[in-house]
Amino acid sequence: MNKDKNIILIGMMGCGKSTVGHLLDEKIPDFQYVDLDKEIEKEAKKTIPEIFAQDGEAYFRELESKTVQRFCNYRNQVISTGGGAVEKPENRAIMKENGTIFYLKADVKTLFDRVKKTSNRPMLFRENPMEAMKTLLAKREEFYKEADFTIETEKKELLEIVEEIVNEYEKRLHKD
């Protein structure tokens, strides 16, 4: 199996996975962009906040794992994952097996500034959403760091980030 046939983007809410994913898709011929959160919503026929409110987080995580499993089995994709997809060891194992993983790293303040205006992140529906963000990042950082590449996104233009990912991906492809 050629695990380098998927590019998988991981990182916290607001780190730019979807934006970078779309740009990568335009840049790499024959690759298809998949946003796992969108796929979960399609499958459930509900928005993510509705899933959390009606069925709970545990149910959302089950759907998330199934979606990770399903899409990692295909090839030639740029996959953007939800921020919590790294928490389950089985998700991490499948992603490692089936793709080159890029962690889009940003400071908690940047992340929070990007998502605070939106109301579609149930993990932040807390009395103190900034604290919730910090706690989640602290819990997940060790998993994010298992990525093949950590891409520092602070103070970089989007296109620089995209170029860095394409370069690393191509280098790795030719090395194996």
Residues engaged in binding ligand S3P (CB under 6 A): 13, 17, 37, 48, 82-84, 121-123
Of 34, 23, 33, the residue nearest 163 (C-alpha):
23
Please, which residues bridge with residue 101 across strands? 8
Specify the residue, 28 or 137, whose C-beta has the smaller distance to ligand S3P: 137
The residue nearest ligand S3P at its CB is 82
Q: Which helix (H) or strand (E) holds 168?
A: helix 158-175
- Smallest distance from ligand S3P to CB 29, Å: 25
Separation of alpha carbons 40 and 51, rounded Å: 10
Backbone angles phi and psi of 153, in degrees to 5: -100, -15
- Smallest distance from ligand S3P to CB 145, Å: 16
Q: How does strand 77-80 pair with strand 32-35?
A: parallel
- Smallest distance from ligand S3P to CB 141, Å: 13
Specify the residue, 4 or 37, whose C-beta has the smaller distance to ligand S3P: 37
Specify the residue, 152 or 170, whose C-beta has the smaller distance to ligand S3P: 152
